[in-house]
Amino acid sequence: MKIKAIRARVFEWKGPTVPPQGNFCSNAMDLVYDNQANRHECGNDTMNTFRFHGWTVVEVETDNGLVGLGNVALAPRIAKAIIDQYLAPLVLGQDPWDYEYINQRMYRATQAWGRKGVGMAAISAVDIAIWDILGKATNLPVFKLLGGRTKEKIPCYYSKLYRTDLKAMQEEAEKFMKQGFRAFKMRFGYGPAHGQQGVVENLKSVEAVREVIGYDNDLMLECYMGWNLEYAKRILPKLEKYQPRWLEEPVIADDIDGYAELNRLTSIPISGGEHEFSLLGFKQLLDKRAVSVVQYDTNRVGGITMAHKINALCEAYSVPVIPHAGQMHNYHLTMSSLNCPMSEYFPVHDVEVGNELFYYIFKGEPDAVNGFLQLDDKTPGLGLSLRTDHLHNFEITE
């Protein structure tokens, strides 16, 4: 079995979207004031650069007719160019069972420019597609190739509590608690740029959600790189009484020493890794005790080949892995690792931040039932196929 073709297409959403809201989610752009030199249609929406309304879909085809699906959400047009111009020539003609060799070939050939960010994300898409092929070739789900079932079903946490009106947040939390969810993640809407008033608003939002879900359910807090070290050190002691399961990405991803200082400072576990891209990058985080929970995304870290290694690395440090964003490439790794206790979960929803696009492009994602996800033992590969019923809402670049 040899790889005979690689096709990368960009799917850009042109359908209806939920309009941006102010203070929807703190993020790394909040600290950079807008001097209005290049105003655009998104206005003051600092989340604009973190919305993923385009996706690169990769199809890897073998000479015996198998087609594997991979995907990448970061900078999709650039990812497509990387795959077409740099990665495909390295992969064509290879045996997909030599996945370690193929992954190393892509990783090492792009060292000059691809070690972090979209270069690794493009590699991930190809690697994910190769694992989909391996599952289809053996008529087994991917998780069975990675170690098999380590849990009856996957617990998942509801992850769509963005900062909106407090009453609306409470109603949303209550709605999904009634659907069986026992864990919730909410976003802060304010950071250092908003002063003490923003601190008060952040505390009010945590208190409001805790009021609804109580203390017998888990609450996770996300900053999305929207704070800095000084601000985080001031607010963390005030958050401890709310007993969060973790505080996510309090500072920008490159501030590893800042993560480590915060992880030592507080009883609240600090989590991160969504914006880390390599095995050695995670080793640095672990060596510095910078995070107590690792949250890689398989379609950013080099694919399933590398994510499987990161799982093993984290297990050796007794640091749990809870991958970012849900989605099937992550679910298979979570099912196959005892060190992955739960999954993130976004319900099917109108297109907003962009995580929702996965549901509009692919079919086969499991729905959560009473706060759990299930993977089928008899569905080969990732269990995904391309949808056709939403194609009219996409502009597709071949």
Query: Residue-wise over 201-236: b if at least 16 C-beta within 10 A, else e?
Result: bbbebbebbbebbeeebbbbbbbbbbbbbebbbebb
Going 170 to 211 to 162 to 357, the CA torsion angle's sign is: negative
Q: Is 324 assigned a catalytic role? A: yes
β-partners of residue 156 are 343
Q: Show the DSSP H helices in the chain as ranges.
A: 76-82, 88-91, 99-109, 118-138, 142-145, 166-178, 195-213, 229-239, 256-265, 279-287, 304-316, 328-335, 357-361
Q: State the pairing for strand pair 394-397/3-13.
A: antiparallel
Q: Considering 53, 308, 324, 329, which one is annotated as catalytic? A: 324
DSSP 3-state assignment of 256? helix
Could you tell me if 156 and 341 are in contact, meaning their C-beta atoms sit under 8 angstroms apart?
no
Whether the Cβ atoms of residue 253 and residue 276 lie closer than 8 Å to each other: yes
List the one residue out of 8, 340, 314, 18 whose CA is nearest residue 155.
340
In sequence order, which residues have a C-beta less than 8 Å from that of residue 274 and are 6 or more positions away?
Answer: 248, 249, 253, 295, 296, 297, 300, 324
Fill in the DSSP letter of residue 181: -
Provide the Cα torsion 259, 265, 270, 272; round to 10°: 0
3-state secondary structure of 357: helix
Report how far apart, in Å, the C-alpha atoms of 108 and of each of 4, 55, 87, 184 are.
22, 25, 11, 39
Please identify every residue annotated as catalytic.
324
